C-alpha cells in the first residue's frame, strides 16, 4: 500500500509542479523531443522495412535474408550501438540515437510485412493475376490491403519499442522524456523518474490507440471481419 | 524543480548491512561512481583489501552520489571512494567550508550515523567551470566573476546532478545564470569542443582537460570546496583491517599520481584495475 | 475458338505436366478437361491465359497465338473462375464483380451497374452486393466468382474446378445455373474437373487426360460413354456407363399407350393386367393389378420429351407394373410407356 | 604495457581474464545469468498463466492488456526503482526482463494452444483422454512450435536488453559500453556488441535445434506455386 | 446393441439438434445416419460416447445407460473416426494407432505389435509406421484413423463422415475396405454421412434424419429405395432410385442362354440376329449381327451370381444387341442374358 501512496505522491509532485510545464526542461518540450526522435526513427524504419518486406514477400526471393537479418538486428544491443555511434559521430547530432532506434524498429516491421504478404492465400494472388492485374497492381490493390493488419501490427510493435527505448537517448545528453529518468536517477529524485516513466507509458498507450484507430480506418471490414454476419 | 529527497519512503531500504568484522579479513563491497577516476580508486581499494585477505565484492560504475550514498547507508555497499567537499555539499548544501581541514571538520558533524569517513588523502580532484582556450581568448575570461557578466548568453553542460547542487549557489555567490542547462555526462568535454555548450563542469584531474585544450576558470570566491579523496564507509561493516588499509592508501596517494594514473587510463586505455595494481605494487601496498 | 497445337509444358524440375496436347475448344461450347489428379488439367487451362507459358507448341485464340499478347491484356479478355472463388476479401461484392471493368477504365457508375446486373443474372439477391465475401456462403461466393469472370463480357471463360469445394446439393444447383447461363450467353468455356459426372453433365465436348498430360480421348459425352477409346478411359468412366448413356437419349420418340389409364373412383378395369389410376385433374395416383384391384402400387414418372430415357427407365423400375408413367411439365399424365416400348426405344438408342 | 591505446586484440587479451569483476569473462558469465534466468523464469510463469487464459477465456483480455502496458514501460526506470527494493543485485535486472518475456510468451502459449486443430482435440476426447492427460500428451506438444517461436524472440531480446542494466552498474557485457563511453574507446564497444550478438545467435541456434529435436513432425512443407 | 430411447438434445442457445430420437443400432451391423446438413447427425453420434450429453431420454449400450459410465472409460471402449482423421501430428503412425492401448496401460511392446497388426489389416505398408501423419496422403491418414479406432478392439465404432474429405476414387476404395473389415470383425458400427450413395452402399440399416433432428425413416437400404416413407425421404434419395434399387437384386436367378455364343474364327452363325464371339479361352470378344458378320460390336459383362441386376442391366445397355454377357469370376463367359430374361428378372424383383 505504501508503495501505491508513494507512487501517487511522486506523480503529484512531478505533475503538480507548475515549473515542470514550461521551459526547455519542461514536460511539453521533452515530450516534443521524444516525439521527434521516435517519429523520425519510426518513419525511417517504415521507409526501409515496408518496401523491403513488400518486395521480398511479393517476389519470394531473399526470404532467408529477412529471417537472418531480422534476428541479427533484434540481437543488437541498443546501448552498445548508441555508444558506438556517439564515439564515431560525436554526441552533438541526433544520428547516434536515431540509427540504433531504426535498427531496433526494422525487424518487427520487416518480418510482419514479409509474412503478411507471403501469407496471402495463393488462390487470391492467382485470381488477381488471372483477371489481368499487373504485378504492381496485384501488390497494391490486393496483397497490401489483405496483409495490412499484419503490416500495421509490425509498425505498432516497433513504435512502442521505439518510444520506450528513446529513453536511452538521454544517456548521451540528448533530450526526450528519458532526461527525466536519467536526471531523476542521478539526483535521486524519484518523482522525476516515475513521472517520466508514466509519461512514456502514456505516450506508448496513445501510440497503441492511434494504431488501433488507423487500423479501423485503413483495414477493410472484409479483412478484419468486423461486421456482424447478417 | 524540486529535488527534494526528504521523506522518500525508499530511503530506508531493505538490503541488510553485511555482518561486521568476522575473524580474519572480513567482507567488503567496494562500489564506485560512474566516472573512470572513481572506478580507478575503487579498484585500488579493492585490490589492496584483497591483499590483506578481505573478501571483496566489486560493484563499479553504479551511478551518481545520490544513488551510491544510499547504498552505503543501507549496507548494499561497504566502501566508496569519496571526495570530501562534494560529500559535504551533498549532505549540507549551504555549508561554505572551503579548505581541506574546514571541510573534514564540517563533514564529521554532518555525517549520518550509519556512515564513517576515513582520513582524507592529499590527492585532490576539484570541480571546475571550464571553457575552451578559444572562448578564453575571445571573451578574455579568466575567473568565474568574469563569467558572470556573459553567462546569460551561454549554455552550460555537466552531469545532471550538478545543476541540482550548484545552480543556486552559483547565482548567489557569483551571480552566474546560464541561458540553458544541458545534461552532458561523460561527453562534457566533447560538447565544449564542438560548441554545443560554452561552459562545462569538468574535473581538474580529467585528462580530457588537456586533451581538448580546456581551461578551468578560477574559483576566486572558493565556492568549490576542497575535494580530497576520502574513503566513505558503512560503519557497521567497517573493520580495522579496512580502516588501516585505506588510510595507508590515502597517505600515499597524491594529486600527481592520480593525474598520472588517469593519463594511462584515458590515453593508453589501460584498464583501471591494471593501473591500480601497478600503483599498489610501486607503493608497496599490493 | 481455342486451339492447342502440340503444346508441351515441362516444369523446371523436369515434370512433364502436359505432353504434345492438340485439341480445339470450339466457340460457344463448353469443353471439359477431365482426368485423375496431376494429369495436367490446371496446367493446360492456365496456359490459355498465360498464367503458365507453354514450353513447346502454341495456343491460338481465334487463330492468334496467345504468346504474342501481353499477359494482363490477354487475361482481361478472358474470364477466370477458380475453386475457392478467390474473391478479394477487402472489397464489397459489387466491387469484386466490377474488378475487370475498373481495370479496363470503365466509368465507376457504369461498372457498378454492370456488376449489379450480373449478380442478378447469376441468381444473387442485390442486397448481397454491399456485403463482403466472408459474409457469403460458399455457394454464393462461387456465384460471385462466376459473375466476376463475366463482368467485362469476355468471349472466353476458364473454370478450374469451380464447384468442387461446395456440398453436393449446392453443386448441382450451380451446375444447372451454369448451363442456364451458357444457354443465354454462348461463351467459349473451358472447364476443368476431376469429376466425370460433372464433365458429362456440363460438357459439349469432354477431353479425358491421362497422367503425364496426354490426351486419352476427346469426344462428346455420349460418344465417350458408348465408345471409350481404351481401358484407361473405360476405367475412368466407371460403372453405370450404359445407364448413364441413356441420359443422352430423348424420350421424345418413346411410344406411349393411352389406353392403360382409369379414372379415380371408377371401378372399371382395362384389358391388361395393370392399369394406372389417374386423379380427376390428371395426376397419377397408382397402379392397380387386375388381381388385386384395391391395392395401389407405387409408380414412377418422367416428363415426356424433356426427360431422358434414363429417367424413363428409372420410372419403369420403380413400379411392379414395369411401366413408366409419362407426364407433361405440369405433372398431368400423357401416357404410359410399357416395357415393350422401352425395349424398343433402348434398342434403337443402342443402334444409333 | 606500451604507450598509446592498444589494438582491439591486445585489449581483448589484456582484459579477457584479469580475475577482476570486470574482466570480459566475468561479464560474460554475468550476462548469461542475467539473460538466461529471465528466459527460463518467464517461460515457467507464462505457461500456467497462458493455460489459465485458455481455460478461462475472459482472463485473456485483461492479461494481454496488462502485458501490453508492461511492454511499453522502458526498462531503465524499472531498474532504477527496483534498486531501492532489490539493491544492486542481478535480481534488479532479472525481474523486469522476466516481465518482458512474459509479455511475449503468454500470447505465444495462448496462440500455441489455439493452433491445436479442433479435430485433433476432439479425437483425443473421443479416445478417452482425461483433460489433464490431454493437455500434457496432446495439446502442449502440439503447441511447442509456436511457444518456441516466442521463446526465440524472448531469448534474443533478453540477451540484448540486459546491457541496459549497465546504466545502474549491472549490465553484464553492457558495462563495456558505459566504460567505453566514459573513457572514449572503441574496442570495448565492439567486443560488447559482437559478444552479445554472438550469444543471441547461439541461443537462437540452440532453440532452433531444440525445435528440430522436439518437433520432428513439423517440416516446412514445400508448397508449389 | 445401441439403443436411443426418446433422446432429445437442446443446445444452450435453444437449438434443438435432436428431437425425441428412438432407434436401435443392432450388434454386429452398420447403422448409417444420413440427412441434410445440420440435421443432428453428429450430435446424435456424439451422444453415444458422451462427447455431448443428452438433454432428455437416454442412450443404452447393451442395455446399460451411458450416463452412468465415466466418460473417459466409456470412450476407451468405443472407437471413433472423424473426417480429418484427427491424427496426432506429433506422434508417429504406430504410436497414433497405439494411443488407446497406451491409455489402457498396455505394455508398450504389446501395444505396438497390435498397432502394426492393425496397420496391415487396414491395408497400409508397415514401412509407413515410423512416419508422421503429415507424410501420409489423405486416404492413408483415414486408414490410420480407422486402425486407431480399432486398436483396443472396441465392440462399437462411431464414424462421423470419415471418408468425406478424400477424392472419389480413394473414397470408394476406403468404403470397400470398411466392408471387408466389417465382414471379418463384426463390429457394431454407427456411421454418419450426408451422402446417400455411401449410406446405401455401407448400411445394413439406414436412418434418414430431417432437420430439427427427427427420424424420417429407418429401414434397410432396399426398403428405403423402394418404399420411401414420405416426400422428404423420396426427395433426399434423389433420382435413379429405381435403378439403384437393382443393386440389391442378385443375378443368381437370372436365366442365361448358352446357345448364343460362337467360337472365334468359326464363321458359323446362330439362329438369332445376334451372336457373341468368344475367344478360345472363353473370354468374350464382341457381338456380331447377322446382317454384318464382320463387324464386332461392343458388349458389357457382369459376374453371374456375384454382381447385381444393376450391373447386368448396365451391361445390357452397353451393347446394341441388348443382351448382357454373364461371366464367371475369371472372366469366362457362362452365358448371355437376353432382354427377355432381364425383363423377367426385373418384373420378379419389382413384385418381391
Ligand atoms: N510449379 C510446378 N513445378 C513443378 N511441377 C509442377 C508444378 N505445377 C504442377 N506441377 C506438376 O505438374 C503435374 C500437373 O499438375 P496440374 O496442377 O496441372 O494437375 P491437375 O490435373 O490440375 O491436378 P489436380 O486435379 O490435382 O488439380 C503434376 O504432376 C504436378 O505435380
Ligand atoms: N455447440 C452448439 N451450440 C448450438 N447449436 C449447435 C451446436 N452444435 C451444433 N449445433 C446445431 O445443432 C444442429 C445439428 O448439428 P449437427 O452438427 O449435429 O449437424 P450435422 O447433421 O452433423 O450436420 P453436418 O452434416 O453439417 O455435419 C445444427 O443446427 C447446428 O447448428
Ligand atoms: Mg488442378
Ligand atoms: Mg456433422
Of residues B59, B74, B187, nearest to D169 (C-beta): B59
pLDDT at E216 exceeding the cut of 60: yes
In this predicted model, what pLDDT tens digit does every residue of C75-84 receive, in sequence order? 999 999 998 7
In this predicted model, what pLDDT tens digit does every residue of C266-309 receive, in sequence order? 666 667 788 899 998 989 998 888 878 788 888 889 999 899 89
Domain end, chosen from C222, C248, C274, is at C248
Q: What is the mean pLDDT of residues D182-202?
A: 93
Q: What is the mean pLDDT of residues C95-110?
A: 94
Residue scoring higher pLDDT (B16 or D189):
D189
Query: How big is the B-D interface in CB pairs under 8 Å?
Result: 90
Give me the helix-helix angle, A63-75 and A27-59, nearest 10°. Answer: 150
Cβ burial of D156 (10 Å; 0-12, 13-18, 19+) is: buried
Q: Residue B65 has what pLDDT?
A: 85
Q: Which residues contact A2 (CB under 8 A, 6 or more apart)?
A: B9
Q: What is the mean pLDDT of residues D194-203?
A: 95
Of residues C37, C242, C310, nearest to E300 (C-beta): C242
Q: Ligand 2 atom 31: the closest Cα is on which residue? A: E38
Q: Residue D221 has what pLDDT?
A: 42
Q: Residue E62 has what pLDDT?
A: 94
Least confident of B264-268, C17-21, C82-86, C171-175: C82-86
Q: Residue D15 has what pLDDT?
A: 84
For residues D35 and D97, the answer to whether their CB atoms sit within 8 Å is yes
pLDDT at C315 exceeding the cut of 70: yes
Q: Ligand 2 atom 16: the closest Cα is on which residue? A: E40
Do at least 3 CB pairs under 8 Å connect E with A? Answer: no
Q: Which domain holds residue C340?
A: 261-351
Examine the domain organization and report whether C153 and C6 are in the same domain.
yes
Residue E159 CA to ligand 2 centre (angstroms): 16
Q: Which residue of E has its CA nearest to D120?
A: E86
Whole-number percent of chain A with pLDDT over 90: 56
| Residues of chain D neighbouring E148 (CB-CB closer than 8 A) | 127
Q: Which residue of B has its CA nearest to A186?
A: B64
Q: Residue A1 has what pLDDT?
A: 60
Which residue blocks in E38-192 are alpha helix, DSSP H?
A: 41-48, 71-76, 93-97, 99-103, 108-121, 138-150, 168-185
Please indicate, yes or no, whether the overall pTM of this predicted structure exceeds 0.90: no
Q: Residue B15 has what pLDDT?
A: 39
Q: Residue C29 has what pLDDT?
A: 96
Q: What is the mean pLDDT of residues B265-269?
A: 86
Ligand nearest to the CA of C46: 1
Ligand 2 pocket mutation, candidates E4, E42, E215, criterion most atoms within 8 A of CB: E42
Sheet holding E30-34, edge to edge: E78-82, E156-160, E188-193, E30-34, E205-210, E214-219
In this predicted model, what pLDDT tens digit does every residue of D40-98 receive, in sequence order? 999 999 999 999 999 898 999 899 889 888 888 888 888 888 887 888 889 999 999 99
Residues with Cβ–ion distance below 5 A, ligand 3 = C 42
pLDDT at C67 exceeding the cut of 50: yes
Residues with Cβ–ion distance below 5 A, ligand 4 = E 42
pLDDT at C92 exceeding the cut of 80: yes
Q: What is the mean pLDDT of residues A159-184?
A: 88
CATH class of D9-217: mainly alpha
Say if C253 falls within a structural domain.
no
Examine the domain organization and report whether C243 and C294 are in the same domain.
no
Do at least 3 CB pairs under 8 Å connect E with B? Answer: no
Q: Residue E351 has what pLDDT?
A: 64
Q: Residue C321 has what pLDDT?
A: 84
Q: What is the mean pLDDT of residues A11-33?
A: 88
Q: Residue A227 has what pLDDT?
A: 60
Examine the domain organization and report whether C212 and C174 are in the same domain.
yes
D11: pLDDT confidence band, cut at 50, 70 and 90? confident
pLDDT at D203 exceeding the cut of 90: yes
Distance of alpha carbon E252 from the chain centroid: 21
Q: Residue B189 has what pLDDT?
A: 86
Q: Delimit the domains of chain D by residue range.
A: 9-217
In this predicted model, what pLDDT tens digit does every residue of B91-113 receive, in sequence order? 887 888 888 999 999 999 999 99
Examine the domain organization and report whether C211 and C281 are in the same domain.
no
Q: From the CB of residue B195, how many other CB atoms can be counted at a distance below 10 Å? A: 12
Examine the domain organization and report whether E200 and E337 are in the same domain.
no
Asked whether the CA dihedral A184, A188, A191, A195 is positive or negative, the reply is positive
| Residues of chain A neighbouring C103 (CB-CB closer than 8 A) | 131-133, 137
Q: Chain D, 72-101: which have a CB under 8 Å from a chain A CB?
A: 72-78, 80-81, 84
Examine the domain organization and report whether E215 and E314 are in the same domain.
no
Of residues A83, A181, A182, nearest to D181 (C-beta): A83
Examine the domain organization and report whether E109 and E152 are in the same domain.
yes
Domain count along chain E: 2
For the Cβ of D225 lying below 6 angstroms from any atom of ligand 1, the answer is yes
Write down the mean pLDDT value for chain C. 90
In this predicted model, what pLDDT tens digit does every residue of C166-175 receive, in sequence order? 777 788 888 9
Q: Residue B25 has what pLDDT?
A: 63
Residue D129 CA to ligand 4 centre (angstroms): 22
Domain end, chosen from E206, E225, E248, is at E248
Q: Ligand 2 atom 20: the closest Cα is on which residue? A: E38
C240: pLDDT confidence band, cut at 50, 70 and 90? confident
**Which residues approach ligand 2 with their CB closer than 6 A?**
E 11, 13, 15, 17, 37-43, 194
Q: Which residue of B has its CA nearest to A3?
A: B9
pLDDT at B21 exceeding the cut of 60: no
Q: What is the mean pLDDT of residues E119-147?
A: 90
What CA–CA distance (Å, rounded) separates D158 from B66? 29
Q: Chain A, 134-193: which have a CB under 8 Å from a chain C CB?
A: 134, 137, 142, 145-146
Chain E adjacent subunits, 3+ CB pairs under 8 A: C, D
Examine the domain organization and report whether E22 and E134 are in the same domain.
yes
D220: pLDDT confidence band, cut at 50, 70 and 90? very low
For the Cβ of C39 lying below 6 angstroms from any atom of ligand 1, the answer is yes
What CA–CA distance (Å, rounded) separates B101 from B107? 10
Ligand nearest to the CA of C36: 1
In this predicted model, what pLDDT tens digit does every residue of E226-236 receive, in sequence order? 888 998 998 88
Instruction: Count CA atoms within 13 Å of residue D178 on its CB side.
Output: 27
pLDDT at E39 exceeding the cut of 70: yes
| Residues of chain E neighbouring C320 (CB-CB closer than 8 A) | 347, 350-351
Q: What is the CA radius of gyration of chain E?
A: 25
Residue scoring higher pLDDT (E179 or B211):
E179
pLDDT at A140 exceeding the cut of 90: yes
Examine the domain organization and report whether E86 and E63 are in the same domain.
yes
| Residues of chain E neighbouring C200 (CB-CB closer than 8 A) | none
For the Cβ of D224 lying below 6 angstroms from any atom of ligand 1, the answer is yes
Q: Delimit the domains of chain A by residue range.
A: 2-229
Examine the domain organization and report whether C198 and C310 are in the same domain.
no
Contact D185 B271 (CB under 8 A): no
Say if E276 falls within a structural domain.
yes
Ligand nearest to the CA of C53: 1
Contact E82 D138 (CB under 8 A): no
Of residues D127, D144, D218, nearest to E76 (C-beta): D127
In this predicted model, what pLDDT tens digit does every residue of A182-209 receive, in sequence order? 888 888 888 888 999 999 999 999 999 9
Q: What is the mean pLDDT of residues C216-221?
A: 94
| Residues of chain C neighbouring E347 (CB-CB closer than 8 A) | 320, 322, 339
Write down the mean pLDDT value for chain B. 85
Q: Identify the CATH number of the domain in which residue E166 sits.
A: 3.40.50.300
Name E295's bridge partners. Answer: none
Write down the mean pLDDT value for chain E. 90
What CA–CA distance (Å, rounded) separates E150 from E162? 14
C351: pLDDT confidence band, cut at 50, 70 and 90? low
Contact D128 E134 (CB under 8 A): no
Examine the domain organization and report whether E43 and E174 are in the same domain.
yes
Q: From the CB of residue D42, how many other CB atoms can be counted at a distance below 10 Å? A: 27
In this predicted model, what pLDDT tens digit does every residue of E293-333 receive, in sequence order? 788 888 889 999 899 899 999 898 888 888 899 999 998 99
CA angle B88, B94, B98 (to 5 degrees): 55
Q: Residue B165 has what pLDDT?
A: 80
Q: From the CB of residue B5, how many other CB atoms can be counted at a distance below 10 Å? A: 16
Q: What is the mean pLDDT of residues D206-216?
A: 89
Q: Which CATH superfamily is domain A2-229 in?
A: MetI-like (1.10.3720.10)
Domain end, chosen from E214, E248, E282, is at E248
Closest CA–CA distance from residue C74 to any residue of chain A (Å): 7
Say if C255 falls within a structural domain.
no
How far are the Cα atoms of A53, A134, C16, C53, C83 from residue C45, in angstroms, in the given order?
A: 32, 20, 15, 11, 13
Q: Ligand 2 atom 17: the closest Cα is on which residue? A: E42
Examine the domain organization and report whether E102 and E218 are in the same domain.
yes
Q: Residue B19 has what pLDDT?
A: 40
Q: Cα torsion at A25, A27, A28, A31 (round to 10°)?
A: 100
Test the C interface: residue of A126, A134, A222, A226 with most C CBs within 10 Å = A222
What CA–CA distance (Å, rounded) separates B42 from D20? 12
Residue scoring higher pLDDT (C165 or E176):
E176
| Residues of chain B neighbouring D185 (CB-CB closer than 8 A) | 269
| Residues of chain A neighbouring D193 (CB-CB closer than 8 A) | 76-77, 80-81, 84
For the Cβ of C42 lying below 6 angstroms from any atom of ligand 1, the answer is yes
Closest CA–CA distance from residue D97 to any residue of chain B (Å): 19
D185 contacts chain B (CB < 8 A): yes
pLDDT at E260 exceeding the cut of 90: no
Q: Identify the CATH number of the domain in which residue C315 sits.
A: 3.10.580.10
Closest CA–CA distance from residue A79 to any residue of chain D (Å): 6
Say if C256 falls within a structural domain.
no
Q: Chain E, 95-124: which have a CB under 8 Å from a chain D CB?
A: 99-100, 103
Amino acid at each position: 500500500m505504501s508503495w501505491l501512496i508513494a507512487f501517487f505522491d511522486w506523480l503529484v509532485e512531478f505533475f503538480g509542479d507548475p515549473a515542470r510545464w514550461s521551459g526547455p526542461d519542461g514536460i511539453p518540450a521533452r515530450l516534443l523531443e521524444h516525439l521527434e526522435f521516435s517519429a523520425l526513427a519510426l518513419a525511417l524504419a517504415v521507409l526501409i522495412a515496408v518496401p523491403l518486406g513488400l518486395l521480398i514477400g511479393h517476389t519470394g526471393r531473399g526470404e532467408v535474408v529477412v529471417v537472418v537479418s531480422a534476428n541479427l538486428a533484434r540481437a543488437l544491443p541498443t546501448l552498445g550501438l548508441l555508444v558506438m555511434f556517439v564515439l564515431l559521430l560525436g554526441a552533438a547530432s541526433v544520428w547516434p540515437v536515431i540509427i540504433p532506434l531504426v535498427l531496433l524498429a526494422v525487424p518487427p516491421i520487416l518480418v510482419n510485412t514479409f509474412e503478411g504478404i507471403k501469407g496471402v492465400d495463393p488462390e487470391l494472388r492467382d485470381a488477381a493475376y488471372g483477371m489481368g492485374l499487373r504485378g504492381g497492381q496485384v501488390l497494391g490493390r490486393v496483397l497490401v490491403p489483405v496483409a495490412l493488419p499484419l503490416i500495421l501490427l509490425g509498425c505498432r510493435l516497433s513504435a512502442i519499442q521505439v518510444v520506450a527505448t528513446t529513453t536511452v537517448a538521454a544517456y548521451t545528453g540528448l533530450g526526450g522524456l528519458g532526461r527525466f529518468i536519467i536526471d531523476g536517477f542521478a539526483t535521486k529524485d524519484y518523482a522525476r523518474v516515475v513521472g517520466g516513466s508514466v509519461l512514456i507509458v502514456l505516450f506508448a498507450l496513445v501510440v497503441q490507440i492511434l494504431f488501433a484507430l488507423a487500423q479501423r480506418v485503413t483495414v477493410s471490414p472484409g479483412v478484419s471481419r468486423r461486421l456482424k454476419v447478417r | 524543480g524540486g529535488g527534494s529527497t526528504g521523506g522518500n519512503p525508499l530511503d530506508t531500504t531493505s538490503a541488510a548491512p553485511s555482518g561486521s568484522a568476522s575473524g580474519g579479513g572480513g567482507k567488503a563491497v567496494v562500489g564506485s561512481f560512474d566516472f573512470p577516476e572513481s572506478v580507478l580508486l575503487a579498484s585500488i581499494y579493492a585490490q589492496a583489501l584483497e591483499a590483506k585477505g578481505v573478501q571483496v565484492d566489486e560493484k563499479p560504475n553504479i551511478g551518481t552520489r545520490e544513488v551510491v550514498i544510499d547504498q552505503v547507508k543501507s549496507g548494499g555497499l561497504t566502501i566508496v571512494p569519496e571526495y570530501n567537499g562534494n560529500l559535504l555539499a551533498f549532505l549540507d548544501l549551504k555549508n561554505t567550508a572551503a579548505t581541506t581541514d574546514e571541510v573534514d571538520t564540517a563533514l564529521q558533524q554532518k555525517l549520518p550515523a550509519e556512515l564513517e569517513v576515513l582520513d582524507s588523502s592529499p590527492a585532490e580532484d576539484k570541480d571546475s567551470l571550464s571553457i575552451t582556450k578559444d572562448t578564453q581568448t575571445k571573451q578574455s575570461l579568466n575567473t568565474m566573476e568574469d563569467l558572470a557578466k556573459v553567462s546569460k548568453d551561454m549554455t552550460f553542460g555537466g552531469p545532471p546532478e550538478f545543476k541540482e547542487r550548484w545552480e543556486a549557489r552559483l547565482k548567489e555567490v557569483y551571480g552566474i545564470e546560464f541561458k540553458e542547462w544541458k545534461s552532458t555526462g561523460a561527453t562534457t568535454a566533447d560538447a565544449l569542443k564542438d560548441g554545443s555548450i560554452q561552459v562545462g563542469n569538468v574535473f581538474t584531474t580529467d585528462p580530457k582537460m588537456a586533451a581538448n585544450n580546456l581551461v578551468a576558470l578560477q574559483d576566486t570566491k572558493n565556492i568549490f570546496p576542497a575535494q580530497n579523496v576520502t574513503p566513505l564507509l558503512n560503519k557497521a561493516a567497517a573493520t580495522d583491517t579496512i580502516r588501516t588499509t585505506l588510510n595507508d592508501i590515502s597517505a600515499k596517494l597524491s594529486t600527481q599520481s592520480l593525474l598520472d594514473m588517469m593519463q594511462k587510463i584515458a590515453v593508453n586505455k589501460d584498464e583501471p584495475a591494471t593501473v591500480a595494481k601497478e600503483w599498489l605494487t610501486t607503493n608497496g601496498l599490493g | 475458338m481455342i486451339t492447342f497445337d502440340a503444346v508441351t509444358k515441362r516444369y523446371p524440375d523436369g515434370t512433364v505436366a502436359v505432353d504434345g496436347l492438340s485439341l480445339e475448344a470450339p466457340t460457344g461450347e463448353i469443353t471439359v478437361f477431365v482426368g485423375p489428379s496431376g494429369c495436367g488439367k490446371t496446367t493446360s487451362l492456365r496456359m490459355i491465359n498465360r498464367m503458365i507459358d507453354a514450353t513447346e507448341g502454341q495456343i491460338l485464340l481465334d487463330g492468334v497465338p496467345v504468346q504474342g499478347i501481353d499477359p494482363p491484356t490477354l487475361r482481361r479478355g478472358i474470364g477466370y473462375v477458380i475453386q475457392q472463388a478467390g474473391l478479394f476479401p477487402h472489397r464489397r461484392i459489387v466491387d469484386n464483380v466490377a474488378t475487370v471493368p475498373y481495370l479496363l477504365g470503365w466509368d465507376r457508375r457504369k461498372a457498378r451497374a454492370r456488376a449489379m446486373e450480373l449478380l442478378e443474372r447469376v441468381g444473387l439477391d442485390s442486397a448481397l452486393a454491399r456485403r463482403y465475401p466472408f459474409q457469403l456462403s460458399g455457394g454464393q461466393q462461387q456465384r460471385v466468382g462466376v459473375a466476376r469472370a463475366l463482368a467485362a463480357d469476355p468471349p472466353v471463360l476458364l473454370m478450374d474446378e469451380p464447384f468442387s469445394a461446395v456440398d453436393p446439393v449446392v453443386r448441382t444447383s450451380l451446375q444447372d445455373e451454369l448451363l442456364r447461363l451458357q444457354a443465354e450467353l454462348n461463351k467459349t468455356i473451358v472447364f476443368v474437373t476431376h469429376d466425370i459426372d460433372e464433365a458429362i453433365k456440363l460438357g459439349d465436348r469432354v477431353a479425358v487426360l491421362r497422367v503425364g498430360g496426354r490426351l486419352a480421348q476427346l469426344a462428346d459425352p455420349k460418344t465417350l460413354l458408348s465408345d471409350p477409346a481404351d481401358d484407361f478411359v473405360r476405367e475412368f468412366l466407371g460403372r453405370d456407363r450404359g445407364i448413364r448413356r441413356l441420359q443422352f437419349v430423348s424420350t421424345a420418340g418413346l411410344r406411349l399407350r393411352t389406353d392403360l389409364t382409369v379414372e379415380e373412383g371408377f371401378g372399371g378395369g382395362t384389358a391388361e393386367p395393370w392399369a394406372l389410376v389417374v386423379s380427376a385433374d390428371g395426376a397419377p395416383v397408382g397402379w392397380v393389378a387386375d388381381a388385386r384391384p384395391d391395392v395401389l402400387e407405387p409408380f414412377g414418372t418422367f416428363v415426356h420429351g424433356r426427360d431422358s430415357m434414363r429417367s424413363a427407365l428409372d420410372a419403369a423400375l420403380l413400379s411392379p407394373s414395369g411401366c413408366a408413367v409419362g407426364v407433361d411439365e405440369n405433372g398431368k399424365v400423357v401416357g404410359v410407356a410399357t416395357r415393350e416400348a422401352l425395349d424398343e426405344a433402348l434398342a434403337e438408342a443402342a443402334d444409333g | 604495457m606500451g604507450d598509446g591505446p592498444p589494438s582491439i586484440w591486445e585489449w581483448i587479451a589484456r582484459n579477457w581474464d584479469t580475475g577482476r569483476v570486470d574482466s570480459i569473462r566475468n561479464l560474460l558469465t554475468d550476462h548469461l545469468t542475467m539473460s538466461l534466468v529471465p528466459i527460463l523464469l518467464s517461460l515457467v510463469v507464462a505457461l500456467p498463466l497462458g493455460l489459465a487464459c485458455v481455460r478461462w477465456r475472459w482472463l485473456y483480455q485483461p492479461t494481454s492488456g496488462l502485458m501490453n502496458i508492461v511492454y511499453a514501460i522502458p526498462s531503465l526506470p524499472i531498474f532504477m526503482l527496483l534498486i531501492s527494493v532489490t539493491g544492486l543485485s542481478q535480481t534488479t535486472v532479472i525481474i523486469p526482463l522476466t516481465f518482458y518475456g512474459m509479455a511475449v510468451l503468454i500470447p505465444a502459449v495462448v496462440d500455441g494452444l489455439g493452433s491445436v486443430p479442433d479435430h485433433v482435440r476432439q479425437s483425443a476426447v473421443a479416445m478417452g483422454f482425461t483433460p489433464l492427460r490431454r493437455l500434457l500428451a496432446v495439446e502442449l506438444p502440439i503447441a511447442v512450435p509456436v511457444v518456441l517461436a516466442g521463446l526465440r524472440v524472448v531469448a534474443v531480446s533478453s540477451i540484448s536488453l540486459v546491457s541496459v542494466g549497465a546504466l545502474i552498474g549491472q549490465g553484464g557485457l553492457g558495462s563495456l559500453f558505459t566504460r567505453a563511453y566514459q573513457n572514449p574507446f572503441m574496442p570495448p564497444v565492439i567486443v560488447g556488441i559482437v559478444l552479445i550478438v554472438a550469444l543471441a545467435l547461439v541461443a537462437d541456434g540452440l532453440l532452433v535445434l531444440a525445435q528440430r529435436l522436439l518437433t520432428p513432425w513439423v517440416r516446412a512443407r514445400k508448397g508449389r506455386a
